[in-house]
Each structure stands twice: as C-alpha cells, then as structure tokens.
Structure 1
Amino acid sequence: MSLFRKSLASLGIGSARVDTLVHQDVLIPGGNLQVEIQIHGGKVSQQIDNIDLYLCCHYREEVESSRGDNQHRKETITQVCKLAEWSLPYAFEIQANEERQFSATLELPFNTPITIGDAKVWLETHLDIPMAVDPKDKDRLTVRPDPLMDGVFTALELAGLRIRQVECEAAKNFALPFVQEFEFVPVSGPYHGRWRELEIVAYRDEQALQLWFEVDRRQNGFSGMLSSLLGRGELKRYLELPTGMHPQQAGEMVLEFLDQHT
C-alpha cells in the first residue's frame, strides 16, 4: 500500500466518504428519524472508530461589538445550535472501494424548530477516522408542527391570522439557547383592525405545550421583542396545553385565551 496514498487519505484526499439517506420527507418534533448511513471506502483501507450524528439548526443572537472607536454597537449574528447528538458504536476497518451500510432510528427532540420561514434544520454525519480529516455529510430536514401545535395554527388561520415571519431567536432560562418565534398578522376576521401583529413562542415537553403571547397594537411594531421579554420574566400572557388534548380543542382554547387577555 502506497505511503503517499495513506498521506493523501489523512488529508481527506481519496479518503472514505459518507452519505446519509433520510427515509421521511417530513418529520415531526418528538417523532422518529430513520436514516441509512452509506460508507464508501476510499483508495486505501481506513479504521473507522465511530459514526457521529448531529442535529443542528441556526438561531439569531444580538451581541455587542466594538469597531475600535470605543463605541459599542449591537449587531445580529447567526449561531449554530446542536439540538441533539448520537454516537453509533460501530468500529471497523473499511477496505479500499468497499461499501458498508448501517441503519439507525433517532428520536427528534420536542423543540426541534419547525422549518418554515428562515428556520433551517439539518443532520450532519461524521466518520471518526484517527489521524485524518473526518469525512462528513450534511442533509437538510423538513420539520412540520406536531398535531397539538398544528391545531393552534389551524385555529389562528381560521380566525383570519396569517404567518408573516418565523425566526429562532436567542433567549435565556430555557434548556436550549433560543426559542422559535411565530409572527402572525390579522388579514381578516375579529382581530383585523384591532391588532398589528401577534407573536407566539412555543416550548414543548412530554407533559405540555407551553405558549407565550405578545400582541402589538402600535404602528411601529416590535418584531423580535418576545424572546427578550421572556428573558426578563416580564411576559404575562402564558398558556399551557396538556399533550393529551385534542388539537381542535387546543386551538379553541388559544382563541378563547386571546379574547380574554387582549
């Protein structure tokens, strides 16, 4: 075996490569993600110590920056959050041009962002190869609301509200460093003319769907304010829906809550 080929493989040239196939077109938070991992041998044999998978997303955070003039400014940067990680204990040697396949079922965290608007979620697959650049694969995922959240969205849409923007924003006092904000605008129905926009933050665990609301009646708007209010504990419009509730009932309860508290 050529020492030169080994050296190239350690730099990632002619090394093994990995492709991950996701079997579902649409995923639901809290549900399963079924994948098939295909490993293709390179030009030399290589030892694989592990197969590591990372579920990732983007979120936005405001940070202070200095430009050398002693004045601090705030700027918005994009951060990456690892929502979950898995290590598959497969240690083996893959020969040159050999192909291997492994299957895995992974559980998506409840608070995996829904991929509408600017929200992006992806799965990274890494091969742990000693003394070499780790080959990796990146696959974009489509995540849709679970039935309870879908019931809330359906009720809001029937009441004349439309989603205008969805963003993952940095927030404190949560298990994750961010929350996902849904911004709605009334285009018809009972809230048209009363509100400028409605912001909702949702946080889910095994027992309940937690919702925070902020209503804006002003003309200048407050986009992105909800996550900062959560961090300061100033938000009072809070509703908790048990996970066993019927989706239609959840939507009706949200509308009733908004009518009573706005």
Structure 2
Amino acid sequence: MVFKRLLGSLGVGGPTVDTVLSPGPALPGGTLSGEVRLGGGDADVDIEHVALELVAGVEAEHAEGESEGTVVFDRFTVGGGFRLGGGEERTVPFEITLPWETPVTELYGQELGIVLGLRTELSVAGARDKGDLDRLHVAPRPAQEAILEAFGQLGFGFRSADLERGRIGGTGQQLPFYQELELTPSPAYAHAVNEIELTFLAAPAAMEVVLEADKRGGPLSSGDDALARFTVPHEGAAHQDWNTVVDGWVRQLVEHRESYGPDAAYGHERPAPGIGTGVAAGVALGTAGLAVGVAGGLVAAEFADEFTDAGEAEGEEGQEGQEG
C-alpha cells in the first residue's frame, strides 16, 4: 500500500512524493529496493535531499504507566541536489540494506501484527516534510525460519509478537529495541513453563538466539524466569537437525543449569521494559510451520493511524493522505 501525500508544509501547489517498493518481503540484513516518484507542483523547486527512514512502533512501561511511540532505527539519503520543474515527473531509484536486527513482520505469508514502516522525507529550500509512509514487510532469514519450524514440530504454539524498548544484557544488540516472539509450551514442557519468549539478534556472520522461560511455581515455591543465549552461524543452517538442537535448548532452559558451555546464560537489562505492539494469535504451531492466524486486514487498516497518532504525540504536523 502506498500513501501519497501533498507536501503541505511546502505550500499549496507544492511537489508530491510517492514511494513504491519492489514486490515481495525483504530479509533482515538484506536489500530493500524501490523508487521514489516525485511530481512537480505549480513552480520549480530545488530538491536538497530525498531521505528514507526505517520506523518501528514500540510500547514501553514506566513507573508512571505505559507509553507508545515510534523509533527511527535507520536513515538513508537516496537523492537530492537537483531542480524539480513545475509539473515535472522524476523517479529516484534506491537500494538500501536493512539492519540485521530488523524485526520480522510475517511468517509463511501471515502477519505478526508488528508495526514497521518506511517513511520518505523531502527537503526543499530548508523545509522538510514527511511525504510518504509505506508498510514494510520483512520475512525471516533461513536460520530463523528453521528454528521456528522446529519449535512448531516440537509442539509449541504461537501466542504473540511484540517490540520492546530496551536492551538485552550480555548480547551484541545494536538497535534500541528488540523483538520477542511469545510461544506457548509443548505438552512435554507444559508442567514446567507458562511460556517461552524467543528473540533473534542477527549479525552478518551469525545470530544470537535468546530464550526466556516463565517457569511455573510449585506447591512450596514461586515461579521464576530462566534465560539462555545461543549462537547460530548463518552458514550451514539447512543441514542442521534443528528439532534436536531446539529441544536441547529448551531442556537446558527449563532445567535452569548454571552453565551452558561456551554460550552462557545472560540476563535482560530493561531500563524501560516494553509490553510490545503485537497482536495475540493464540493458535498452534503446526508441523508445517507457524500458523499465525493474525487478522492481517485489521492490522493494515490501522497501520497509518498507528504512526500518525505517534507522530502527533511527538509534535509532528499531521497531514491528510490520499491513496496513490
């Protein structure tokens, strides 16, 4: 979906901007390509720059309560330094590389409810305007998909996905937020844990997999959280016996061992713990993979409002948009 907006802050009759992404989902650490289509207004203008921002919707908990907001987690200048004539049409192609920790928004073509977008900024003679906002679709990398597939084959279920503001201690996390996939336990572990939270922190050579278990309490003890981190190289992911690997991870996590060999357990550092923006699905992970069951149409309809409301809260000028 493309949102085409008149650049109101540049005056009536100013240029328009329309960003079109190449078909298909991108991958964390992969290439995102497309083009920015500019339309000249009533007069010639000098385009200082055309920039793209990666934006995520996050929620956070504070002592005073909960708050919502947006985080710009990367920015790219893809053009500029030219004059756009009145009524002229010009295309600015782009190809950018997404951060490796970019959240996954869909699995097997089904939406997770994560709010992630690409926002276009146009600067004309010192005036800047957020002219275009596009929903960003990101699929898992092969190793991520294989691990999720293994959880499904082991009988775990999908509960929800969210983005949490904060950092996970002891990891190489780069972004100011992280994604958690909340899983219901398989029958084999239902007696021991209420849920397992899974986070992928990908990097060029390998990926950190962070697991946190909400352990059930007993008659004489209360429940607690257990955490563990494992490192997975991207190369060779297709040749792993992931069912065995993932089951071993969960056994170590549930037993809460003091040591995990070279991959020691790490705790979460959460100066502003997030409650996330995911939509609860409450369906099972099947042997064919993750069946999310999220109402994707509802998410799409609310997408623009999520960013508009957050932008207004940050003091940005709201603008009326028309579909292109």
1:5 aligns to what? Answer: none
Normalised by the length of structure 2, the TM-score is 0.66
* 8 A Cα contact 1:160 1:192, kept in partner: no
**Alignment CA distance shift 1:201-1:9 (3 Å):** closer
- After superposition, the CA RMSD in angstroms is 2.3
Q: CA deviation at 1:206?
A: 1.2
Percent pairwise identity: 27
Task: Tell me how far apart the structure 1 counterparts of residues 239 and 114 of structure 2 sit (CA, whole Å).
Answer: 26
Q: Is the radius of gyration larger for structure 1 or structure 2?
A: 1
What pairs up with 1:114-133 in 2 under 5 angstroms?
Answer: 114-115=104-105, 116-133=111-128
SS at 2:150 equivalent: helix
Q: CA deviation at 1:217?
A: 3.4
Normalised by the length of structure 1, the TM-score is 0.81
Q: CA deviation at 1:63?
A: 2.2
SS at 1:109 equivalent: coil
Letter matched to residue 194 of structure 2: R
2:249 counterpart of 1:257: yes
CA offsets, 1:45-100, max 9 Å, x none?
A: 11101111111111222223xxxxxxxx3x12123222211112431111111100
* 8 A Cα contact 2:59 2:66, kept in partner: yes
1:138 aligns to what? Answer: 133
Task: Tell me how far apart the structure 2 counterparts of residues 198 and 16 of structure 1 sit (CA, whole Å).
Answer: 49
**Alignment CA distance shift 1:154-1:101 (3 Å):** same
1:191 aligns to what? Answer: 189
1:246 equivalent among 217, 237, 242: 237
Task: Tell me how far apart the structure 1 counterparts of residues 202 and 30 of structure 2 sit (CA, whole Å).
Answer: 13
* 8 A Cα contact 1:18 1:135, kept in partner: no
**Alignment CA distance shift 1:177-1:131 (3 Å):** closer
* 8 A Cα contact 1:117 1:165, kept in partner: yes
What pairs up with 1:13-92 in 2 under 5 angstroms?
Answer: 13-64=12-63, 73=64, 75-92=65-82
2:163 aligns to what? Answer: 168
SS at 1:112 equivalent: coil
1:152 aligns to what? Answer: 147
2:312 aligns to what? Answer: none
1:205 aligns to what? Answer: 203
Q: Which ranges of structure 2 fall in alignment gaps of 5 or more residues?
A: 1-6, 106-110, 218-223, 255-324
What pairs up with 1:105-116 in 2 under 5 angstroms?
Answer: 105-115=95-105, 116=111
Which one has more relative contact order, counting CA pairs under 8 Å at least 6 apart?
2
- Matched residue count: 232
Task: Tell me how far apart the structure 2 counterparts of residues 79 and 62 of structure 1 sit (CA, whole Å).
Answer: 11
* 8 A Cα contact 2:10 2:129, kept in partner: no
* 8 A Cα contact 2:50 2:78, kept in partner: yes
Deviation larger for 153-162 or 112-121: 112-121
2:245 counterpart of 1:237: no
